[in-house]
């Protein structure tokens, strides 16, 4: 490493490096789940955002806290797509892959473009690690990687030389800094500054000066290695993107949900109570809200999901904004209590961060397979509004909208995120809160009925919402519960006609929420050959595929559903304006089933249940096939 530092100081000895400008780049850092790939990816993302690039990320990691080292199941990866133009996905094929061991190479090499850059930690390719990954020979030496630009770097060796002499560094700590050497190397390769990362290191480890020195030194060593070696002959740069003026930060879907909920509490001038039981990938909502407890937020970690939703029902009854977060298995446990919130007509918000199922399934992998469970997975007729954000920034907007709808219509609301959206990172323009409309929460303090001494808790306003009364309000004492209610008095009733009327009233109330939703927006022509109808997080891939084909002259439009129940009022007219409808979703066709039942259209389902989001080219290919069929007809 001393030779590298010497070359850094001697400009005359540096090899000539050419520079090349690219419009966009997709890279992936991959290694063991303990190799710090998620952290390195986040720091590279932060530097890219600071440079003004548009970015989109996809962290992919095992469910186990520490999967067996060196195995295929234990591989953790972080993908970053950074661009000088607006982007909507973390990218399909990789321009660069950094593989810290043989298992990382084997799991990820299939995604690297032909002639793509492949950087491997040569020191990690030992007979033992090769065998664990299922290799019978060393791929760095057997010409099996000749379709790629392979750079075998002694990352472990160079890192050890850089940090081993720092006082107080153990062997384990030395090995844990390898990720910063790799980060420094790709930071040079793509002309990323180090100052943002160094500032973070100093803040994060301010009480551990040896760790600050080690991480900073090996980060710089990796950067200068890229600058001084002879085989990396080109340094690439991606210019800043043209973005709307304003103050930006990078944000994940989970962070945006937490900030949106905190903002909703401020807009409503209400305390927000978040009660949840930890479950991947929804647990981080609780973690984020704990950091915001000074802003009128109370958090409660329950002993299970049933207790969690019970606690927020109680909070809502007491006048707070009650919110919980869970994922598929937890949602199943909450179903009975969610039905209780429907019949008591209490305003709660349930955030379901979907993951691959059924049962425990694949806890860290994304899927959109809870749609039918959310719509129909309760006993009886129990309708409720369902919202699905399409991007990390949209998580902020729809979490506020969910609270607004809940308190205005006195109903539980479900917000459908997923593991991909929760962990995806985008640049986010920080909104001006003065532009946000207040959330009005009206608590009845005296009976509205003249000449009637008895309060009627199930009388209704123009929205078909019942009164929201704080318990203990003098003269408005009442009871609620899970038994059917008489339509006005709220008394327990077993009358068949009353039950039917109450079922219809609850349904009409939810159907009436459609007037709160904006008209469905279409990207591209208002009529034509193909409409791509997506929902939630599939927006990015569907929009990019459609846009690519529009640029080629094809008659393709796309629209993404953010409001799923009730469906937007103009959706039927939109669907009827196209010859074919394509519905891509990360399940076995659940939205397709709903659309086919509701509208008479020729819709085709494109499904994917691999624990991975759609690639743009997967959607593009089917659109081309559909158009070819139309032209053939």
List the Cα angle 88/104/38 in 5-degree steps.
50
Q: Which residues pair with 56 in a beta bridge?
A: 81
Residue 4 confidence class, pLDDT cut points 50, 70, 90: very low
pLDDT at 517: 96
Q: What is the pLDDT of residues 554-611, one digit of tens each?
A: 999 999 999 999 999 999 999 999 999 999 999 999 999 999 999 989 899 999 999 9
**514 DSSP 8-state letter:** G
Nearest to 158 by CA among 208, 96, 226, 209: 226
pLDDT at 13: 60
pLDDT at 34: 87
Per the CB < 8 A criterion, the answer to whether 520 and 350 are in contact is no
Nearest to 238 by CA among 142, 408, 96, 355: 96
Per the CB < 8 A criterion, the answer to whether 54 and 87 are in contact is yes
pLDDT at 218: 97
Percent of the chain with pLDDT over 90: 90
Element (H, E) at 411: none
In the predicted model, what is the mean pLDDT of residues 524-542?
97
Work out the mean pLDDT of the chain and round it to a whole number: 94
For the chain, give every domain's residue range.
Answer: 2-237, 249-435, 528-632
pLDDT at 454: 82
Q: What are phi and psi of 269, to 5 degrees?
A: 55, 45
User: Which residue's entry shows tokens 């797509």?
Assistant: 81
Relative to beta strand 75-83, strand 112-121 is unpaired
Percent of the chain with pLDDT over 70: 97
In the predicted model, what is the mean pLDDT of residues 74-99?
97
Q: Is the pLDDT of residue 369 over 60?
A: yes
In the predicted model, what is the mean pLDDT of residues 63-73?
84
Using alpha carbons, list the distances in angstroms from residue 67 to 31, 62, 73.
12, 7, 7
Q: Is the pLDDT of residue 518 over 60?
A: yes
Beta strands per DSSP E along 183-231: none
Relative to beta strand 234-237, strand 149-153 is unpaired
CATH number of 528-632: 3.40.50.920
Give this prediction's pTM. 0.93
pLDDT at 452: 58
Using alpha carbons, list the distances in angstroms from residue 163 to 44, 215, 285, 355, 467.
21, 8, 36, 40, 66
Six token digits for residue 257? 């949900």
Residue 3 confidence class, pLDDT cut points 50, 70, 90: very low
Q: Is the pLDDT of residue 180 over 70?
A: yes
Q: Is the pLDDT of residue 1 over 70?
A: no
CATH number of 249-435: 3.40.50.970
Q: Is the pLDDT of residue 11 over 60?
A: no
Nearest to 354 by CA among 383, 374, 381: 374
pLDDT at 7: 43
Residue 66 confidence class, pLDDT cut points 50, 70, 90: confident
Same CATH fold, 528-632 and 2-237? no
CATH number of 2-237: 3.40.920.10
Residue 618 confidence class, pLDDT cut points 50, 70, 90: very high
Q: What is the pLDDT of residues 202-222, one digit of tens each?
A: 999 999 999 999 999 999 999
């Amino acid at each position: 490493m001393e030779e590298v530092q010497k070359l850094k100081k001697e400009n005359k000895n540096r090899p000539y490096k050419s520079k090349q400008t690219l419009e966009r780049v997709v890279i992936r850092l991959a290694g063991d789940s303990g190799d710090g790939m998620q952290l390195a990816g986040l720091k590279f993302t932060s530097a890219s955002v600071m440079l003004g690039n548009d970015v989109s990320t996809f962290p992919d990691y095992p469910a186990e806290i520490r999967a067996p080292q060196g195995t295929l199941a234990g591989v953790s990866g972080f993908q970053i797509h950074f661009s000088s133009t607006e982007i909507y996905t973390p990218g399909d094929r990789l321009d660069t892959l950094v593989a810290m061991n043989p298992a990382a190479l084997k799991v990820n090499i299939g995604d690297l473009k032909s002639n793509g850059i492949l950087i491997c930690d040569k020191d990690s390719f030992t007979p033992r690690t090769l065998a664990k990954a299922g290799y019978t020979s060393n791929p760095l030496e057997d010409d099996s990687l000749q379709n790629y630009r392979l750079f075998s770097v002694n990352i472990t060796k160079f890192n050890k030389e850089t940090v081993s002499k720092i006082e107080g560094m153990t062997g384990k700590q030395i090995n844990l800094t390898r990720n910063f050497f790799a980060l420094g190397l790709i930071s040079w390769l793509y002309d990323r500054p180090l100052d943002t990362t160094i500032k973070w290191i100093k803040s994060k480890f301010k009480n551990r000066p040896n760790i600050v020195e080690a991480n900073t030194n090996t980060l710089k060593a990796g950067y200068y290695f890229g600058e001084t070696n002879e085989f990396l002959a080109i340094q690439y740069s991606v210019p800043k993107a043209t973005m709307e003026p304003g103050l930006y930060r990078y944000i994940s879907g989970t962070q945006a949900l937490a900030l949106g909920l905190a903002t909703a509490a401020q807009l409503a001038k209400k305390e927000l109570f978040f009660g949840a039981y930890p479950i991947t990938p929804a647990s981080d909502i609780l973690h984020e809200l704990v950091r915001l407890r000074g802003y009128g937020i109370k958090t409660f970690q329950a002993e299970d999901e049933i207790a969690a939703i019970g606690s927020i029902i109680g909070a809502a009854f007491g006048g707070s904004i009650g919110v919980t977060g869970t994922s598929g298995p937890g949602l199943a446990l909450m179903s009975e209590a969610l039905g209780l919130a429907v019949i008591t007509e209490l305003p709660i918000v349930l955030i379901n961060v979907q993951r691959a199922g059924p049962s425990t399934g694949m806890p860290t992998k994304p899927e959109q397979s809870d749609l039918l469970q959310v719509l129909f997975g309760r006993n009886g007729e129990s309708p409720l509004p369902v919202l699905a954000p399409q991007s990390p920034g949209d998580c902020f907007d729809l979490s506020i909208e969910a609270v607004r709808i809940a308190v205005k219509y006195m109903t539980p609301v479900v917000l459908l995120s997923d593991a991909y959206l929760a962990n995806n990172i985008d640049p986010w323009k920080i909104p001006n809160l003065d532009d946000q409309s207040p959330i009005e929460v009206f608590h009845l303090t005296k009976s509205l009925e003249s000449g009637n001494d008895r309060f009627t808790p199930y009388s209704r306003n123009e929205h078909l919402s019942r009164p929201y009364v704080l318990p203990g309000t003098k003269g408005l004492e009442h009871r609620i519960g899970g038994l059917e209610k008489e339509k006005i008095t709220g008394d327990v009733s077993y009358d068949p006609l009353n039950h039917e009327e109450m079922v219809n009233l609850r349904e009409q109330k939810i159907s009436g929420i459609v007037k709160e939703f904006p008209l469905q927006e279409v990207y591209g022509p208002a009529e034509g050959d193909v409409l791509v109808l997506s929902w939630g997080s599939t927006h990015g891939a569907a929009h990019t595929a459609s846009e690519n084909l529009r640029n080629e002259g094809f008659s393709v439009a796309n629209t993404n559903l953010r409001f799923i129940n009730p469906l937007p009022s103009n959706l039927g007219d939109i669907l009827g304006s196209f010859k074919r409808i394509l519905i891509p979703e990360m399940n076995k066709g659940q939205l397709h089933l709903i659309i086919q039942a509701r509208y008479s259209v020729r819709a085709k389902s494109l499904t994917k249940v691999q624990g991975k989001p759609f690639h743009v080219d997967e959607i593009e290919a089917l659109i081309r096939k559909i158009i070819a069929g139309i032209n053939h007809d």
